[in-house]
């Protein structure tokens, strides 16, 4: 959204033509269509009033295919609906994708609902009880979902149609086999399309889209749900679930397409039928609702197209209803109806008798018409008179708007337009009459003129307004003619000036008539429409006063050291506040300049709440909330006013259980999910705006990233490259055993990996901003304690000094590296070298005369002198050109130099001990790290040799022993990490062994990165979290979190990291935050890990430590590395004592990045948070206490509430396995393998765990022998 807004602004006052390519901030787009005055043009000039609609060819698409009972029926041309879906619709869809170079990330899911003929729950087996639900009519049912493809990208999707068709053909048989295997003897019947689980399936995809800010990648844009159904667009749904789905679809800005394979009916569709009453004492009346948030299409197979073309008529069969005899209609002697019959010419295809619903009846009441037969009339007159009564016009009265609609009563199809109704309007072009239209809907006959339809004023005046020129021209912003502002259709009154529109359709301006023919919206399913960034709906002053409450606050922008900031910086922050709302699905409320000027002249007191660039005022809308941001040029302040509804009903939260057949599994399993709406308007906008206004200094001011702001995040894993091993496997066709990685991963390779890791971190720090440190000369005046506190808010660096024997000054509290797992710093690890008590702490020892080369007994001054030797000394990094102080080095380089330069060749531990003693005595200092200032941390930690002040200089500043030399702002910290060289396995990553170079470190470290945006000419910031300690036999976790960064800039940063990793002998791959779906709120409800049991020989049992050793040995041999990670982002602001996500668990990732593994029973602390009691989707059970049904619901398993729970891990010994679907073509290399390797790896892993040819038994015997020898 933010990139689209910037791109749109850059196009103003420019000329565009078809197929022109444009680029802004890393976003590349191409002009596909240009519309002006209701028609397409070849070129045009973009003005501020031009509406730009963005479409994506790289969207995340969920394709649901409803496997209802009609799938095995024939259509009017004799084709099976199943063949019509696969051989017709899918072939055309995937062919268009290939022609348009669409590279969508596709998931294909088959779903259905099965009803059981049972009157009591006692007849079901215990295994099925948690999955059962009760329908409103008292029938038991179970929902099934089978995942065929999950988040896959293919250049040619036509290759998957053959296996997909085979899966669809045996779909019903697989369900019956599964029920029989579960012990169910009750007959189950597959439901029809009308009674299916359409909304349930739609909400499962919404659960994935709801967490779009997690596991972000930079190669896809847009979200789409395609529902393929063999029905005609009529569905029976629960009212509560329908309301919840509508809120989520509209607020999240997610596109949806319902593709109907059946014939189009003679009433508006899609049509939702509510069955929300079980009280049998009163007559049950069906109630309907027309969802404008569902885009629909009707597919005609090639057979149907050829048939209709051969008949030389435009008539298309619309309904096939069973014969219905009206009670009051005249009858022939043989009992048949006397209605006119279809001519025998064969021009019409359909049934002769149709039922109708009178507009005078209540919503959904069936009422038939009487048609008298006149023998003197010819056939044409009979049909004309019959049709006039069949499609009779209702009484022209404007009834009050209701939430329900009668599709057969035209009076109820006219509603008042609201903000939700206008959210998608700017994504569509204007028709010939000026109304916004969808091109796949067309009228077969011309609609009546305006004079033929009565135009009545609504009963009550609207409180909110729509732009009167919403039907104006699109490209040049020219006003439309007055006659085009109002468009009437047959029976339906559409008046955008009075804010009345048609309840049918997404736009609300394109009217529905019985002569409306709907085709296929191929553009929507080929290049998905992105959510519009603008809307024309604005609230009126009267509505704001009565229905909304105001929450104003002011953002004060201050410069460095409490100085005034420049107007350009304030304007950039103002633009960033707008951008943050756009990425949260807010929309800019914009009006054409001419209309806005006209409203200002007519009524200066009652101005519309809309964006006005002349006043530096921006208005954004989201659902029933409006935000007004005003930039004050005089005071450089930003005034924010939040308008929220006074009355708002809470959104329902529902629990859902279903049967899921995930990928790589052989049967259905029970799955849990939660469905609820997460409104954005309840976020802490004041906190978010303050975080943005402080830029990179937000953490110092106490504003950290928190989960409530829904910041974006991407997690990566740094893995060693094994390209040579993969190349050898590929040459053999991945045949034979694949547990050969352990031989290459020996201890001899660990120093090479550590050296490569240090080079990788050196490359990360090369992109850091140049440092500007104060001079370290001895003539610099000492800094007093008051000076330090006064400059605490300065964004520059500050040297910490001491005078005489005064107490060392402490760092600013906000600069401490707290992560929630901080422990007491280790003190007294290395004893201070004994020296003469009369000597000063920094006085040099007497020079050693044995050899010019230093040794462990040499004085520290000698060691420092040797380090500074230009020929044989230590190679210093940075220098003035890097902004670092002179004589800087890393602890790993210093240890390596000591081991090579010292004549007695000390060991690694002895070299670290020498550095520790020099640190204690003040001969070396940590540049940045607080921990590194107290203890030498081996790895990429930066230390330096301070300049020794002359004895003649009095009161010279000295660095503080035990404190870092410089206090730096958070946004300019460097990447620093420890390295473990010990070969002993760590039992707990949070408690490293106490020894030289090893100290207690938090699992993750957090820094802030600065990135310069050359296109926008300003600095952007993001957070980076990474493991604080690198172990060669472990994976290294890294995560980016951002709120104000441009995705294109971040993509360039990540690509630079990936290239540097490859040059250092590693490869960087994307990873999941929660790959094993531990938590329902952030996991994919259609994804489940594969359980691979361990077939222990002879059913033997082992001790837990022996079993853990066997499992670890199996994982190591197959190339899996341990990874200590968390289920949420490791930020200090998101981790609290009460949070369930603070625990660190160990999971395994393959060295190629293709899969994750987890031993079971797992030792990971995955304790569920405090469970919420949620009502089940089974609405019948919610009202069971008030109903007198003959079904024994007292023992029904579908309880009225379900607890929020995690997906349980198996208690049997084995492994959980799940593929990494984030590893797309963009990230693949010679070190990541291919799809064939991934399948071969899983198959061979299963063979070993299944103890084929005794491989597992031999491994267990080896481990048992080692245990006995110990």
Give the mean pLDDT of 790-797. 32
Give pLDDT, residue 700: 72
Whether residue 583 has pLDDT greater than 60: yes
Instruction: Count the helices and strands in the chain (H runs, E runs).
Output: 26, 55
Q: Do 769-973 and 58-310 have the same topology in CATH?
A: no
Tokens representing 59 are 């969207």
In the chain, what are the helix, strand and coil shares in percent, each to the nearest 5?
A: 25, 20, 50
Confidence tier at 781 by pLDDT (50, 70, 90): very low
Q: What is the pLDDT of residue 320?
A: 53
CATH for the 769-973 domain, from 3.40.50.2300, 3.30.70.20, 1.10.10.10, 3.10.180.10: 1.10.10.10
Q: State which of 90-94, 281-285, 439-443, 1050-1054 shows the largest mean pLDDT.
A: 90-94
pLDDT confidence tier of residue 809, bands split at 50, 70 and 90: very low
- Residue pair 967/795 in contact (Cβ under 8 Å)? The answer is no
Its CATH architecture, for the domain 58-310, is 3-Layer(aba) Sandwich (3.40)
d(CA 243, CA 249): 10
Structure tokens at 799: 């040297």
Residue 917: what pLDDT?
92
CB 497 within 8 A of CB 468: yes
pLDDT score, position 317: 59
Write down the pLDDT at residue 980.
84
1028, 1007 Cβ separation under 8 angstroms: no
pLDDT at 713 over 80: yes
Average pLDDT (34-59) is 90
Q: Are strands 188-190 and 105-116 parallel, antiparallel or unpaired?
A: antiparallel
CB neighbours of 345 closer than 8 A, spacing ≥ 6? none
**pTM for the model:** 0.81
| pLDDT in the model for residue 1220 | 93
Establish whether the linkage from the previous residue to 1161 is cis, with ω within 30° of 0.
yes
Q: How far is CA 1269 from the centre of its chain?
A: 52
DSSP 88-136: IIIHHHHHHHHHTT---EEEEEEEEEEEE--S-GGGS-GGGGGG-EE-T
What one-character DSSP code corresponds to residue 419? Answer: T
Q: Which residues pair with 534 in a beta bridge?
A: 588
More confident residue, 1119 or 461: 1119
Measured at the alpha carbon of residue 1240, what is the angle toward residues 1234 and 1242, in degrees to the nearest 5? 105
Phi, psi dihedral angles at 540 (to 5 degrees): -85, 165
- Please, which pLDDT band fits residue 754 given cuts at 50, 70 and 90? very high
pLDDT bin (cut points 50, 70, 90) of residue 26 is confident
- For the record, the structure tokens of 923 come out as 């001969």
Tokens 């054409």 map to which residue? 592
Q: How far apart are CA 932 and CA 963, in angstroms?
A: 9
What is the rounded average pLDDT for all residues in the chain? 75
In order of 164, 657, 711, 774, 1238, the CA distances from 1116 in angstroms are: 36, 36, 35, 49, 16
| Residue 561 burial (C-beta neighbours within 10 Å; 0-12, 13-18, 19+) | exposed
On the 0-12 / 13-18 / 19+ scale of CB atoms within 10 A, 881 is exposed
* pLDDT tens-digit series, residues 1111-1147: 999 999 999 999 988 877 777 654 433 344 456 788 9
Q: Where is average pLDDT lowest: 503-507, 661-665, 682-686, 1067-1071? A: 682-686
Spell out the domain ranges in the chain: 2-45, 58-310, 721-732+1050-1269, 769-973
């Amino acid at each position: 959204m933010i990139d689209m807004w910037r791109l749109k602004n850059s196009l103003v006052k420019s000329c565009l033509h078809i197929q022109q390519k444009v680029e802004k901030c890393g976003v590349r787009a191409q002009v596909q269509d240009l519309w002006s005055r209701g028609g397409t043009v070849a070129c045009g000039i973009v003005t501020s009033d031009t509406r730009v609609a963005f479409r994506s060819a790289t969207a995340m698409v969920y394709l649901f295919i409803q496997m209802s009972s009609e799938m095995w029926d024939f259509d009017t041309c004799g084709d099976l609906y199943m063949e019509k879906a696969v051989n017709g619709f899918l072939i055309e869809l995937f062919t268009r994708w290939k022609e348009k170079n669409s590279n969508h990330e596709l998931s294909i899911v088959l779903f259905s609902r099965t009803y059981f003929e049972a009157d009591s729950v006692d007849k079901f087996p215990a295994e099925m009880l948690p999955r059962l639900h009760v329908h409103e009519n008292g029938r038991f049912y179970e929902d099934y979902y089978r995942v065929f493809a999950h988040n896959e990208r293919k250049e040619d999707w036509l290759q998957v149609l053959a296996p997909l068709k085979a899966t669809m053909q045996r779909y019903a048989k697989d369900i019956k086999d599964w029920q029989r295997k579960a012990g169910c003897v009750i007959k189950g019947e597959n439901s029809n399309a009308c009674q299916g689980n359409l909304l349930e399936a739609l909400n499962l995809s919404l659960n994935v889209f709801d967490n779009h800010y997690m596991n972000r990648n930079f190669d896809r844009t847009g979200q789409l749900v395609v529902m393929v159904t063999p029905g005609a667009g009529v569905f029976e749904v629960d009212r509560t679930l329908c309301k919840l789905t509508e809120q989520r679809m509209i607020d999240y800005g997610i596109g949806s397409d319902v593709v109907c394979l059946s014939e189009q009916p003679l009433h508006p569709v899609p049509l939702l039928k509510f069955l929300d009453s079980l009280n049998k004492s009163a007559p049950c009346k069906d109630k309907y609702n027309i969802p404008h948030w569902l885009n629909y299409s009707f597919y005609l197979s090639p057979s149907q197209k050829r048939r209709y073309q051969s008949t030389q008529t435009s008539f298309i069969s619309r309904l096939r209803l069973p014969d219905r005899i009206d009670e009051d209609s005249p009858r022939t002697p043989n009992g048949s109806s006397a209605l006119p019959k279809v001519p025998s010419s064969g021009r019409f295809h359909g049934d002769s008798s149709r039922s109708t619903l009178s507009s005078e009846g209540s919503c959904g009441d069936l009422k038939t018409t009487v048609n008298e037969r006149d023998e003197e009339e010819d056939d044409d007159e009979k049909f004309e008179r019959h049709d006039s009564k069949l499609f009779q016009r209702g009484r022209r009265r404007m009834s009050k708007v209701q939430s329900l609609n009668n599709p057969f009563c035209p009076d109820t199809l006219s509603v008042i337009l609201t903000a939700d109704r206008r959210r998608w309007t700017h994504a569509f072009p204007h028709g010939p009459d000026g109304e916004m239209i969808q091109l796949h809907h067309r009228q077969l006959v011309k609609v009546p003129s305006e004079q033929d339809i009565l135009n009545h004023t609504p009963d009550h005046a609207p409180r909110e307004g729509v732009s009167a020129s919403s039907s104006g021209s699109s490209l040049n912003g020219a006003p439309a003619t007055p006659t085009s502002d109002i468009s009437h259709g047959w029976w339906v009154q559409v008046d955008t000036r009075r804010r009345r529109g048609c309840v049918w359709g997404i736009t609300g301006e394109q009217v529905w008539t019985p002569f409306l023919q709907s085709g296929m919206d191929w553009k929507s399913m080929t290049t998905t429409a992105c959510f519009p960034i603008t809307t024309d709906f604005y609230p009126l002053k009267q509505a704001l006063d009565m229905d909304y409450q105001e929450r104003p606050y002011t953002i004060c922008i201050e410069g460095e050291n409490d100085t005034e900031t420049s107007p350009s910086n304030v304007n950039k922050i103002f633009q960033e506040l707008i951008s943050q709302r756009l990425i949260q699905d807010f929309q800019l409320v914009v009006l054409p300049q001419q209309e806005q000027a006209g409203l200002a002249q007519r009524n200066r007191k009652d101005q519309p709440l809309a964006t006005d660039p002349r006043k530096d005022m921006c208005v954004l809308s989201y659902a029933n909330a409006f935000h007004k941001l005003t930039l004050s040029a005089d005071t450089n302040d930003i005034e924010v006013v939040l308008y929220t509804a006074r009355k708002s009903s809470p959104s329902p939260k529902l629990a859902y259980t279903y049967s899921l057949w995930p990928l790589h599994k052989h049967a259905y399993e029970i799955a849990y999910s939660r469905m609820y709406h997460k409104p954005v308007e309840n976020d802490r906008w004041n906190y978010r705006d303050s975080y943005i206004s402080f830029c990179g200094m937000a953490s110092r001011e106490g504003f950290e990233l928190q989960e409530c702001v829904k910041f974006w995040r991407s997690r990566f894993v740094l893995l060693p490259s094994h390209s040579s091993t993969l190349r050898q496997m590929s040459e053999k066709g991945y045949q034979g055993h694949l547990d050969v990685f352990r031989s290459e991963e020996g201890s001899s390779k660990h120093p090479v990996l550590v050296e490569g890791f240090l080079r990788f971190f050196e490359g990360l720090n090369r992109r850091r901003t140049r440092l500007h440190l104060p001079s370290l000369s001895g003539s610099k005046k000492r800094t007093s304690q008051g000076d330090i506190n006064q400059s605490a808010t300065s964004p520059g660096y500050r040297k910490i000094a001491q005078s005489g024997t005064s107490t060392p000054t402490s760092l600013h509290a906000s600069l401490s590296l707290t992560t929630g797992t901080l422990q007491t710093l280790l003190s007294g690890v290395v004893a201070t070298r004994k020296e003469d008590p009369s000597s000063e702490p920094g006085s040099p020892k007497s020079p050693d005369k044995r050899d010019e080369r230093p040794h462990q007994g040499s004085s520290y001054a000698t060691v420092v002198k040797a380090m500074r030797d230009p020929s044989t000394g230590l190679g210093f990094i940075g220098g003035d050109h890097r902004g670092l102080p002179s004589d800087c080095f890393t602890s790993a380089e210093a240890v390596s130099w000591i081991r090579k330069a010292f004549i007695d060749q000390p060991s690694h531990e002895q070299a670290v001990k020498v550095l520790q003693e020099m640190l204690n005595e003040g001969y070396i200092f940590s540049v940045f790290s607080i921990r590194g200032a107290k203890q030498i941390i081996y790895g990429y930690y930066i230390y330096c040799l301070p300049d020794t002040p002359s004895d003649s200089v009095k009161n010279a500043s000295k660095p503080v022993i035990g404190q870092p030399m410089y206090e730096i702002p958070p946004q300019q910290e460097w990447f620093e990490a420890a390295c473990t060289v010990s070969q002993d396995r760590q039992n707990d990553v949070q408690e490293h062994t106490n020894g030289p170079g090893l100290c207690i470190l938090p699992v993750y470290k957090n820094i802030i990165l600065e990135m310069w945006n050359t296109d926008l000419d300003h600095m952007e910031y993001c957070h980076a979290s990474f493991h604080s300690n690198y172990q060669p036999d472990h994976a290294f976790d890294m995560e980016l979190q951002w709120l104000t960064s441009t995705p294109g800039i971040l993509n360039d940063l990540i690509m630079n990291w990936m290239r540097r990793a490859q040059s250092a002998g590693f490869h960087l791959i994307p990873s999941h935050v929660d790959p094993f779906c531990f938590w329902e709120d952030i996991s994919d409800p259609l994804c489940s890990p594969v359980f691979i049991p361990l077939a222990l020989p002879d059913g033997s049992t082992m001790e837990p430590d022996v079993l853990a050793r066997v499992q670890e040995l199996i994982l190591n041999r197959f190339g899996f590395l341990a990874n200590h990670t968390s289920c949420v982002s490791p930020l200090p602001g998101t981790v609290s004592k009460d949070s369930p996500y603070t625990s660190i668990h160990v999971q395994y990732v393959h060295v190629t990045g293709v899969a994750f593994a987890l031993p079971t029973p797992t030792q990971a602390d995955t304790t569920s948070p405090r469970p919420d009691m949620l009502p089940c989707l089974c609405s019948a059970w919610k009202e069971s206490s008030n109903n007198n049904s003959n079904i024994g619901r007292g023992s029904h398993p579908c309880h009225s509430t379900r607890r929020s729970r995690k997906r349980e891990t198996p208690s049997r010994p084995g492994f959980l396995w799940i593929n990494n679907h984030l590893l797309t073509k963009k990230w693949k290399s010679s070190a990541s393998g291919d799809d064939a390797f991934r399948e071969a790896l899983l198959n061979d892993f299963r063979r070993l765990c299944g103890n084929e040819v005794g491989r597992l038994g031999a491994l267990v015997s080896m481990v048992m022998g080692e245990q006995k020898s110990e």
